[in-house]
Every structure is written in C-alpha cells, then in structure tokens.
C-alpha cells in the first residue's frame, strides 16, 4: 500500500510552491515577491520570536499595483480566503473610531474581536495606515510588540496566529512624478517619506517594508490577459462557454489601461465588457455562448455563434 504524504510534507510542498504561486497571481512586482515569500515561509515554519505576530508587512506604492491583491493571494493560498480580515483606516480617523475597533463599553466586541471570533489565525489587513487616528496606531504598536491587544471589555486577544499587513499610498503622487527615474531612486524616496510619515516606533517594528512599482503598459497588458482568462473561467463555471482572440484583448487594454490608477480600471473593464456581452446575448434569447468579438460602431463586445 502506497504511503500517503503527512501534513508536514504537504506544508513543505506548499511553502516550496508559494513564490511561484505569487508570481502567477501578481505582475510587475518581481522584486518584492521573494521577500514576501521568505517572511511567510519563516512565519509558517514558526521561525519567529515568541509573542509576536507570524509576520508583518508595510506595502507602499500607488493605488492599483497589487498591494491588496498579493495579501489576498498569500492568505488564500496558505490559510484560506475566509482568513483575510480587512480594515479600511479611512473609517478610523477620529478618536471615537477606537471604540469601533475595540468596543466602546462593556459587552461590545469591536470589529477586531469579531474577526478574532471567526478564526484564531489569518491575516489582518489595515488599508491606508496613514489615515488612522494616533490612538488607533497605539493599538498597532501593541499588536506588533506583543501580539496582544486588550478590548474595552477587558478581554485580551492573542493575535500571534495572524500576519499583519499595512498598506499606504504615501508619496504615491511623487511616484508618478518620478516615472523617468530608476526604481532604486523611487524606492529610496518612498521609504524616506514613509519614515517621516509613520511613527518611528511603529515603523521600526514592521518586519518588511516594500515599495511596489508602478505598472507599465506591458505589465498591464499581462494583467489584462490574466483577468480575461480568469473571467472566461468564471463564466465557464456558470455555463457560458466563450472564446476570445487578440482583438478582444486589444479592446480591453485600450479601454482599461490607466497609468495612474494601475490595474483597478482594467479589472472593471474586463468584468463589465464581457458581462454586458453575455447579458445582452441571453436577453436576446441566446445562450451566452460563442465567440467574443469587438463591435466597433457601438464600442463594446458582442457574441457571435
């Protein structure tokens, strides 16, 4: 009888494949992926100081370049998509928002405890950290320093099973202005700005600070190919068999490329353009299956049998 691999073997295999998986999901950030994978591998193998989170990251760079996407990708791959807990710091800009995070009075759980109640391990993603109130930043210090935080109820949460990810658009406008500079120059500038903007004691406690590169046209073309394939797979699972050629890809790139907003407009264009074509075909008594073509007069996609 063949011996089945044990859990340790499966974990090692998954960690070995992690970097390749992230490269397949994320485009244009090849400089950052090895460092992300390295910290995650150490975290999963328990190679971290006791009483600390599994690992912590500060992802810097313009919007739409993959900061949130890479967080989703590694959490989904290692832990499961339901283990990502996202907090938008634009909702935590005043002192009263501390009560939202930790609970305002006895009996209130707070958003952090509600995430903890669902799972004892996962990823805590705090978007746009520069918008958080200083009292909220105090909570982050507790989490990074001891992986513990005390709620308003007096309960103490042990967050040592979590990865902590902060994202920031600090100096993102400067990145656009430095488009003709080398990545090393842009990276130094953004990290300097981050050190000036983020409290020194908090910045020092974050394990990895990574600057994400702006997405060139060629990179966004790769992303468009990836998004197109994903959308066709998604619709195939719904029973809609579709084919697309290079003219469809060129149409999507033409409408979705944005030098400042990164891949977000591209994702929206792919989903809307193909979804509209399927919906119109079905409403016209079709099956939503066939070949996608560009309808130039109407500037949209359509389906031919």
Give me the CATH number covering residue 261: 1.10.8.60
Residues 229-274 pLDDT 10s: 999 999 999 999 999 999 999 999 999 998 778 888 999 999 999 9
CATH number at residue 156: 3.40.50.300
Tens digit of each residue's pLDDT (9 = 90 or more) over 8-45: 778 888 999 999 999 999 999 999 999 999 999 999 99
CA dihedral angle for residue 117, residue 118, residue 121, residue 122, rounded to 10 degrees: -130
If asked whether residues 136 and 32 sit together in one domain, one would say: yes
Q: Which of 160, 177, 211 is the last residue of a domain?
A: 211
Rounded CA gap, 5 and 3, in Å? Answer: 7
Specify the pTM.
0.88
Q: Has residue 150 been placed in a domain?
A: yes
118 and 226 assigned to the same domain: no
Q: Is residue 154 situated within a structural domain?
A: yes
Residue 105's Cβ-count burial label (10 Å; 0-12, 13-18, 19+) is exposed
d(CA 122, CA 119): 7
Q: Distance (Å, rounded) from C-alpha 66 to C-alpha 26?
A: 7
Q: Give 111: exposed, middle or buried? Use CB within 10 Å, 0-12, 13-18, 19+.
A: middle
Residue 53 lies in a domain: yes
- The answer on 199 and 235 residing in a single domain is no
110 contacts 157 by C-beta, under 8 angstroms: no
Of 211, 235, 260, the position where a domain reaches its end is 211
Residue 1 falls inside a structural domain: no
Q: Report pLDDT digits (tens) over 96-105.
A: 899 999 988 7
Residue 51's nearest CA partner among 160, 167, 188, 172 is 160
**Residue 230 belongs to domain spanning:** 217-304
Residue 2 within any structural domain of the chain? no
Domain shared by 289 and 152, yes or no? no
* Same-domain pairing of 151 and 237: no
Same domain, 207 and 221: no
Coil vs helix vs strand at 235: helix
Same domain, 199 and 231: no
**Domain closes at, from 150, 185, 211:** 211
Residue 154 has pLDDT above 50, yes or no: yes
Rounded Cα–Cα distance for residues 278 and 221 (Å): 23
Tokens linked to 9: 């073997």
């Amino acid at each position: 009888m063949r011996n089945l691999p044990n859990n340790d073997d499966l974990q090692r295999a998954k960690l070995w494949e992690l970097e390749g998986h992230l490269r397949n999901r994320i485009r244009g950030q090849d400089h950052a992926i090895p460092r992300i994978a390295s910290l995650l591998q150490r975290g999963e193998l328990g190679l971290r100081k006791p009483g600390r989170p599994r690992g912590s990251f500060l992802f810097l760079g313009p919007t739409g370049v993959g900061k949130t996407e890479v967080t989703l990708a590694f959490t989904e791959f290692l832990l499961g998509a339901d283990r990502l807990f996202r907090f938008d710091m634009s909702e935590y800009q005043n002192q009263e928002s501390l009560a939202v995070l930790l609970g305002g009075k006895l009996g209130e759980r707070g958003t952090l405890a509600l995430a903890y109640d669902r799972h004892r391990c996962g990823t805590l993603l705090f978007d746009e950290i520069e918008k958080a109130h200083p009292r909220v930043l105090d909570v982050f210090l507790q989490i990074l320093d001891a992986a513990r935080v005390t709620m308003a109820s007096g309960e103490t949460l042990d967050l040592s099973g979590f990865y902590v990810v902060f994202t920031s658009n600090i100096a993102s406008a400067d990145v656009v202005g430095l488009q003709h500079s080398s990545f090393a120059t842009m990276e130094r500038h953004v990290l300097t700005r981050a050190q000036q903007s983020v409290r020194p004691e908090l910045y020092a406690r974050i394990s990895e600070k990574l600057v994400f590169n702006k997405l060139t046209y060629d990179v966004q073309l790769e992303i468009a190919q990836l998004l197109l394939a994903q959308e066709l797979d998604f619709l195939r699972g719904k029973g809609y068999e579709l084919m697309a050629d290079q003219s469809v890809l060129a149409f999507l790139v033409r409408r979705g490329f944005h030098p400042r907003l990164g891949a977000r407009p591209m994702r929206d264009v792919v989903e809307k353009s193909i979804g509209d074509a399927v919906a119109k075909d079905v409403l016209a008594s079709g099956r939503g299956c066939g070949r996608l073509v560009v309808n130039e007069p109407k500037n949209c996609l359509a389906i031919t049998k």
